[in-house]
Homo-oligomer: A and B are copies of this chain.
């Protein structure tokens, strides 16, 4: 029996649009055992209990890469990560399946190879990079190579995943963006993204507020998230920072004071009792493997 634990990931991060992502300690666990049937899957919606399942497809891709046969499999999925909420659930599935195939066939795990294969499947590295390496990652693909920088994140910062009871379609979140940015705004984005990395490393809430205030995505995408303005007002009142995780619908609140985080939780609960509120911290290491 093989169990792969993969952290959720929060990408985009304000001015980190399309190149940054951060692993957080909400986990998906994928358990693989041998089966008499070709494939049995439990723990997901009925429509995904077949060979189109992303975890299984990633496992098959790993076997292809390793040039080894695909075994009969029983896959059990247990996850704290809601699907299609901007927390990298598809990246978790891909990384889980790929790492499992290498582990199943007792091949050494080279994280760079896992990253390359995962990027091919996901199309971009924003979520798979932190799911594999942990921490805060900046990554991009050029000349078919993935360039990656991993940064530590200050333990002074407390994150709150504020998860709405609705999805935002990735297509709608893309369609709502302009096509171009002025030169002044590009310089703004570049300089603030550099400040963002610095503020997350040093834990400066004040610099983080400046750094997260982006001009590419949030001014547009916030319109797709009901109650964004209410949450934003609450955060501003309590001196918490806020950004849209992925392309939404999850919002991530940030504070350096656990008491304030608890107050924020209470206020949001009163306002939006159906939303899920999960205090999270940064996962420093990425996926973990258990073999029994």
Contacts and interface: CB of A to CB of B under 8 A. Distances in A.
Interface of A: 15-19, 138-140, 142, 147, 149, 177-183, 186-195, 197-198, 207, 210, 216
A17 to B, nearest CB: 6
A98 to B, nearest CB: 24
Given A180-B182, A183-B177, A193 B195 contact: no
Contact of A19 (B147, B177, B181, B190): B190
A187 B147 contact: no
Contact of A186 (B140, B186, B191, B198): B186
Nearest to A18: B187
A153 to B, nearest CB: 15
Stoichiometry, copies per complex? 2
B191 A19 contact: yes
A155 B247 CA distance: 41
Contacts of A210: 142, 147
A187 to B, nearest CB: 4
Contact of A179 (B142, B147, B182): B182
A142 B140 CA distance: 28
Given A142-B210, A178-B183, A189-B190, 17 more contacts: A15-B190, A16-B190, A17-B186, A17-B187, A18-B187, A19-B194, A138-B191, A139-B191, A140-B187, A140-B188, A147-B207, A149-B194, A180-B182, A181-B186, A183-B216, A186-B216, A190-B190
